[in-house]
Each structure stands twice: as C-alpha cells, then as structure tokens.
Structure 1
Amino acid sequence: MPELTLGELARILRECAGEGESADLDGEFADVLFADLGYDSLAVLETAARLKRVYGVELTDEEVNEVGTPGRLLELARRQIAATS
C-alpha cells in the first residue's frame, strides 16, 4: 500500500473527479476549499470510497461533507491509518 501523502491524495482526487474536472493540484492546495478547487461533493465522496478501498479508511458521509479541504481530509485519513496500524 502506498503511503498516503498530499501528492497521493491529489492523484486520487484527479482520478475520482474525472479527467475533465481535474483542478490544478500542483501548488499549495491543501487548505483550499474543495468547492474552490472545482470538486463537488460527489467527487469528494468517491475519493473517500477510494481511501477506504486502498487504505482501509472509513469516514462517515458527515465527516466527508465537513472536511472542506484536501488537507483536512488527509489529516483525518492519516489519523485513522495510524490508529489501525
């Protein structure tokens, strides 16, 4: 299993949003709202589903809807990964 980094999360976000919807995730984007990056709630929920399949991260729909930014999503996912290791 690859380490969950911000770069890995960016890759997953791009794949889950589809090629035409990918935002510029090469700069400082960790604290930018998903909506400002062009990601809707469906793309974020799909990202959470991918995190569950690949990393075993189980986030509720409420948690996913409240995270708001990639950095916060990464923080929650890493915390859960650490707790189950």
Structure 2
Amino acid sequence: MGLLDNKNWMAQDLYNEYLELKADIAERVKVLEYQKNISGTITEKGIKELEDKNSEKAARLRKVLNELKVVHGIAMEDLILLSIGIDI
C-alpha cells in the first residue's frame, strides 16, 4: 500500500504540484546562475525579476509542503522518498 493511497485527491494534487515546483525551481536556479555568469547578456533588472520569480515559486513550495505536512500528515522524509520512486 502506498503512502498516498489512503489520502484524498487534494493530497495527490498537492504532491503533484510539489513535484512540478521542485523541478521548476531547480531549473530556474540553473538559468539564473547561468545568466549571472554570462556578463552582458542580462540586465540587473532581468536578474532581479528572475530572483523574484524564484522567491515566489519557493514561497508556494513552502506552502504546499506545509499543507501536505499539517493537513494530510505527510512528512518531508516521505515526500523525498516518493519523489525518488520509493513508495512506502
């Protein structure tokens, strides 16, 4: 029996959003670091916009993680295991 099997659809939706945000934030951080390392290709304003968007995504991720933990009783450790394919 999997961790999310006995949870409602909202927990599954939040888990899916967690996976999407995790991947999106990781990619955005790579893009931001790349842009910072290439001088002259992006303005300071552009970097600030990327950083702000990353902060927004991170804030949403924190909210999703908190809701999964508090409302649905899913621990962070369980999410990590699930995200690498180990369904407990």
Task: Give the structure, 1 or 2, with the largest relative contact order (CA under 8 Å, sep 6 or more).
Answer: 2
TM-score, normalised with respect to structure 1: 0.33
Q: Tell me the TM-score normalized by structure 2.
A: 0.32
